[in-house]
Structure 1
Amino acid sequence: MSTNEQAFGQVQQIIHDLQSKLQEATRMVASVQAQIQTREREKRLAELTNKELSALQPSTVTYRAVGKMFIQEPLADLTKELSNRAVEMDKDMAALDKKRIYWERSKTEAQGNLQELIRQIQQAQAS
């Protein structure tokens, strides 16, 4: 095997690795964004439910859904649980946003490396 063939094989392997990294980063960015949207939806639902419950009298009988049944729960406990859920969703979204930033940076880096490699190959062929 000649030196040119070895170099070509190495370049092909590098391109393949960069493409794999780019595909994985793109997939992970989309996945994390979907998770963030889900958490935003859950938070919004908890806040809206809590808003509706706040309009009720403290003595109102309230129920919490558990599977296919409902369990009676004091209004104060229910509103506290919903508030805690909204705070938890905020924490989850902050952590997911950090992941999203990491994967977007990884994606940008892989794109840049791939473009740079292609540019170098084109320059080498032109020489």
Structure 2
Amino acid sequence: MADDDKRQLIHSLKKEFDAKQAQLRNVDQQRRTVEAQLRRAAYTAAQLDELPDGVGTYRAVGKAYFLQPKAEVMGHLEEAVKGADGELKKLTANREVVAKAAEGLRGELTELIGQLRRA
């Protein structure tokens, strides 16, 4: 393989590697967001759990608040926790796949750069 071909291949692999790194950062940001939602829902549920059952509570929907029975609000919070758990599992699996791909690209780049330096 000629040096120019190797340089072009290195350049294209570097672009792919940078794209994978950006994808990893995006997945990490999404995970942090979902973790924050999970913590918020769990904290709210813990605070509501201390209230008596007959108490009306407010649930935020967008920018509005609606008065609902405590059981309904707790149900929505449980759904939010389950949804966040599922989303975290998906994001973790996705992160592992992207990290493996990025590591493979890193290995290829290292090998090609080593070959180019030896030549």
Task: Give the alignment of 1:22-41 within 5 angstroms.
Answer: 22-41=17-36
Q: CA deviation at 1:63?
A: 1.2
Question: What's the CA shift string for 1:41-75, capped at 9, x where partnerless?
Answer: 00000000000000000111111123333211110
Separation in 2, partners of 1:97, 1:91: 10
**Aligned length in residues:** 119
- Residue 19 of structure 1 corresponds to which residue in structure 2? 14
- Residue 70 of structure 2 corresponds to which residue in structure 1? 75
1:10 maps to amino acid: D
- Root-mean-square deviation over aligned CA pairs: 1.3
Task: Give the alignment of 1:1-127 within 5 angstroms.
Answer: 7-123=2-118, 125=119
Q: CA deviation at 1:17?
A: 1.0
User: Which structure would you say has the larger Rg?
Assistant: 1
Separation in 1, partners of 2:61, 2:9: 53
Separation in 2, partners of 1:47, 1:29: 27
Unaligned runs of 5+ in 1: 1-5
| Runs ≥4 residues deviating over 3 A | none
2:82 maps to amino acid: V
TM normalised by structure 2 equals 0.94
2:94 maps to amino acid: K
Give the percent of matched residue pairs that are identical in Structure 1 and Structure 2: 28
TM normalised by structure 1 equals 0.88
Separation in 1, partners of 2:18, 2:110: 15
